Chains A and B, each alone.
Chain A
Amino acid sequence: MSWLNILRFPGRSGLGIVPIGVPIVMFIFISFASPNFLNVQNLSNVNAQIAALLIVALGQMIVAICGGIDLSVGSVLSLTSAIIVSVDPALAVPLALLAGLVVGVVNGVGVTIFAVHPLVMTLATLTFLQGLALLILPVPGGDVPDYLEAMVDFSFLGLPAAFFWCLVFATAAAVVLRSTRFGLRIFAVGANEDNAARNGVNVVLHRISSYVLCSFGGVMAGLFLSARVASADATMGAHYGLESVTAIALGGVLLAGGIGSVPGVIAGTIALGLMTNGMNLIGVSPFVRAAATGLLLLTAISLQPRKAIGA
């Protein structure tokens, strides 16, 4: 199959002209608009900036493919940051993972067993966890365990650590989607849960697991980001929930479920990261950038109309 064919019949990858075209156009545009853009230092900056978003977006993608959405993942990121500077360094990572597990299960159970709308459910956990994070760590600061800092502060073959972490998580997500029963079955659940159930797929279990994986994404991003800035902040992840939704929507992941791919999410994340970086370089205020992200989000979801009207 030629590349052109893949673009025309994206199958369930969602990789169409838009997901692939937008980052390319942005890249070209910014390299003309700002001479500093193309230097190595800046490009590695871009990479570091988008690494955390990419990790979160990969988790968001898994939930979305399964037909859900998780706005709370940003708060999970913040909570992780708060936890790791507030407990014994040896316990930091296990505790953060445990928190992620609990959040994922709560979200999943609320959505599947209690049938609460995923947006309402995760909005609630988003708020709760933001409060919890602030309770644990009222003011930014603290000492991030050294071993975490070491893990994000190396470079190899001239490439920064962030690059390798992106590679690790993207590969892991791709393997999950392509080569595990879980990955295959969440596509089925997202496309039509009744038919998936008829084929013997345990819909509830897969839904809950997808939320748990998404929360783990939040935890990993929290570890990465805190280690990178060598300091914790309980509001660090505030924007990541919506930004990750923007990134996957740009990347061709269908928010109604059943369609999406890792390359698409990478493309969407790069598009968003380039926009942020480009605006930085041109000297636009961060608040205009937030507004632009909102516009981008509106555009991205308008490109994928649904049948239902409402939430």
Chain B
Amino acid sequence: MAERTEANAQDRPGGPARPIVEFVDVTKRFGSTTALGNVSISGSSGTVHAVTGENGAGKSTLMNLLTGVHRLDGGEIRLRGKPVTLHSPKDARAHRISTIFQELTLLPNLTVAENMFLGREPRRMGLVNRPEMRRLAEKALARLGINIPPQTYCSALSVGEQQMVEIAKGIAADAEIFILDEPTAALNAPEVEKLAELIFTMKAEGKLIFYISHRLEEIFRFCDEVSVLKDGRHVATHPVAELDREKLVSLMVGRELGELFPQRVPQQDPQTMLSIKGLTTNPFPPKVSFELAKGEILGLAGLEGQGQRAIIRAIAGIDPPISGRVEKTGDDPAQPISVRPTIVAVSQAGIGFIPEDRKIEGLYLPLSIRQNMALGMLREQSLWRPARIKRDEIETLLAQMRVAHADPRQPVGALSGGNQQKVMIGRWLASGVNVLLVEEPTRGVDVGAKAEIYSLLREFSDAGGAVLITSSELTEVLGLCDRILVVREGALIAEFDGPAATEELVMNAALTGTHENQELEGAA
């Protein structure tokens, strides 16, 4: 693999003070995929250092190395000039590193104060000093201007409030290095203002803040330096003052797409295969309606956590929708069949669901490749009958999918990520469904396998199937999809024609939700 890039040769930032954190040639692998390759970044006291890049660029992985959640596979981390090994979050805390995780880590059954001091509860005579804990919590909350009683259970807080508590918890720690991972994801405007004030105070106090975000306006507003990551590699580090918006975006994106994506064939007279009518899902109240046509690959795009997942899972019957209907066109186009929103009924109706996490929800890792594929073929067979499995079909399919050097008796767990993904898709190809719902079709898959997965999906749609994908990789959505729907806060806010869309257009819509006010709600 060509891991070595210009990253090493990149200019080291000349910060205002000596760096207290240095990542030196840091490498991290997950199985066969390299999440980070030879990344070198450093940060100094009294600065706010942005780490940015697309989804999956490796930002969170880099920071998880500093928080002790992941271990290094290569390179080293230096704190105040000295190399350190961080084995656990506890270690990181001892080195005065405090993290505000992107996903909420608050425990619902603990109060705000208990959560804020979990793992370092103040004590008096061996017992937890609750008054002291409450006092400290109140103080930290007050710094952020939050008005939440510290005795409130966290299960009673809104997501935004939880995020603020998470931040308050992070800053209540006596630390000098702070990591803020997408801190504004769930905040409203006044809350962002409070956070801004806080960041400036902390900077003045001489703290180092790593600010992980892909929201450009925040980077320009809060940060002194910005490091850009792409595909696990370090692209560049620049003082923010030397950059403008266009320049930063060009650093983040601007990759040649090459032959990664298969040719799109425009459909004549598209026939509807799946219509979603007035779907509402759990955290998101807006009603969602759209149609999926035969021969089409439709993408749900948007920032992470905006409801794409909830929509596709509601259609699949995994987390049934609160209201709304899904209709599938069968043999008679005039008579669409209503699909009951349970996963068994959905699969019986000829709709396959391919989850994002193939290890947890996708594959039967201890079972062989053949057994995995064969399970798809059983979809329409009776429980009591002998299983009819066409082995030759499986072999053909495996060859077609170019599952590398596969003995079909091998357990699936032994395959690489890309091949596992292919087997998971292959199971549905073998099952004879004609609609596929695919979450993140190429998560954790190397580039070569990506191209093959794209062409598998394209072959499926060309053969008269229809595909709905969600993806947080914009390039993927742009390159693969015939049509793109942008989701923000659970609502469809924009629609683009695949070939006509650009990264900037989609990103803009996803960020601001103001793409020429092309509201799709009216269609419902």
A198 and B128 form a contact (CB under 8 A):
no
Query: Nearest Cβ distance between residue A28 and chain B, in whole angstroms?
Result: 32
Task: Evaluate contact between B90 and A192: CB separation under 8 angstroms.
Answer: no
Flag if B109 contacts A201 (CB, 8 Å): no
CB-CB contacts below 8 Å: B266-322 with A: none
Q: In the complex, which residues of chain A have a beta carbon less than 8 angstroms from the beta carbon of B107?
A: 187-188, 191-192, 195-196, 258
Q: Which of A84-92, A176-184, A233-241 contacts B (4 or more CB under 8 A)?
A: A176-184
Check if A197 sits within 8 Å of B128, measured CB to CB: no
Give min CB distance, B134 to chain A, whole Å: 13
Nearest-CB residue, chain A, relative to B109: A12
> Out of A198, A200, A258, which one reaches B109, CB within 8 Å?
A258
User: Is A9 on the interface with B (CB-CB < 8 A)?
Assistant: yes
Beta-carbon nearest neighbor of A13 in chain B: B109
Contact B128 A12 (CB under 8 A): no
Measured between C-beta atoms, what is the minimum distance from B99 to chain A in Å?
A: 8
Q: Does B108 touch A at the CB level, under 8 Å? A: yes
A138 CB-CB contact with B under 8 Å: no
Question: How far is it, in angstroms, between the C-alpha of A191 and the C-alpha of B114 when the chains are bound?
Answer: 13
Inter-subunit contact A188/B93 (CB<8 Å): no
| B-side interface mostly | loop
Most A CB contacts (10 A, CB to CB) among B109, B118, B130 go to B109
B81-123 CB contact bits vs A (8 Å, 1 = yes)?
0000000111001000000010001111110001000111101
Q: Can you name 28 A-B pairs with beta carbons within 8 Å?
A: A11-B109, A11-B153, A12-B109, A179-B127, A179-B130, A180-B126, A180-B127, A180-B128, A181-B121, A183-B128, A184-B110, A184-B114, A187-B109, A187-B110, A188-B107, A188-B110, A191-B108, A195-B106, A195-B107, A196-B118, A197-B89, A198-B89, A199-B89, A199-B105, A199-B118, A200-B120, A201-B119, A259-B109
Min CB gap A234→B, angstroms: 38
Check B128–A200 contact: CB distance below 8 A: no
Interface set of A (CB-CB < 8 Å, partner B)? 9, 11-12, 175, 179-181, 183-185, 187-188, 190-192, 195-201, 258-259
**Cα distance A175–B128 in the bound complex, in angstroms:** 10
Asked whether A12 and B118 contact (CB < 8 A) given A191-B107, A191-B110, A195-B105, the answer is no
Judge whether B79 is part of the interface by a CB distance below 8 angstroms.
Answer: no
Contact partner of A9 (CB less than 8 A), chosen from B105, B108, B119, B156, is B156
Question: Which of B90, B118, B126 has its CB near the most chain A CB atoms (within 10 A)?
Answer: B118
Partner of A199, one of B108, B119, B156: B119
Q: Is the CB of B121 within 8 A of A184?
A: yes
Task: Compute how far the CA of A198 lies from the CA of B89 in the bound complex, rounded to whole angstroms.
Answer: 6
Q: Are A184 and B118 in contact (CB under 8 A)?
A: yes
Closest to A190 in B: B109
Query: Using Cβ atoms and an 8 Å threshold, which residues of chain A touch B106?
Result: 195
CB of B69 closer than 8 Å to a CB of A: yes
In the A-B complex, the 10 residue pairs with the closest CB atoms: A200-B119, A12-B109, A200-B90, A195-B105, A199-B119, A179-B127, A199-B118, A191-B107, A258-B109, A191-B109
A180 cross-chain contacts in B, Cβ below 8 A: 126-128
Residue in B closest to A202 when the chains form the complex, CB atoms: B90
Which chain B residue has the least Cβ–Cβ distance from A1?
A: B151
Q: Please determine whether B127 and A200 come into contact, CB atoms closer than 8 angstroms.
A: no
Cβ–Cβ contact A188 & B156, under 8 A = no
Would B105 and A198 count as touching, CB distance under 8 A?
Answer: yes
Closest partner residue, chain A, to B101 (CB atom): A198
Measured CA separation A180–B128 after assembly (Å): 5
CB distance from A126 to the nearest CB of B (A): 29
Whether A201 pairs with B118 at a CB distance below 8 angstroms is yes
A9, A184, A197 pick with most chain B CB within 10 angstroms: A184
> Which A residues are in CB contact (< 8 Å) with B128?
179-181, 183-184
Task: Give Cα A179 to B105, complex, Å.
Answer: 22
The complex places the Cα of A187 from the Cα of B89 at a distance, in Å, of 19
Q: Which of B154-207 contact A (CB under 8 A)?
A: 156
A77: min CB distance to chain B, Å: 29
B334 to chain A, nearest CB (A): 40
User: In the complex, which residues of chain A have a beta carbon less than 8 angstroms from the beta carbon of B153?
Assistant: 9, 11-12
Which single member of B69, B110, B114, B130 contacts A198 (CB below 8 Å)?
B69
Residue of B88, B90, B110, B121 near A12 (CB, 8 A) is: B110
CA of A9 to CA of B151, assembled, Å = 13
Expressed in whole angstroms, the Cα–Cα distance for A181 and B108 within the complex equals 17
User: Closest Cβ of chain A: how far from B159's Cβ, in Å?
Assistant: 15
With A12-B109, A179-B128 already in contact, 5 other A-B pairs whose C-beta atoms are closer than 8 Å: A11-B153, A181-B123, A188-B118, A200-B89, A201-B119
The answer to whether B118 and A185 have CB atoms under 8 Å apart is: yes
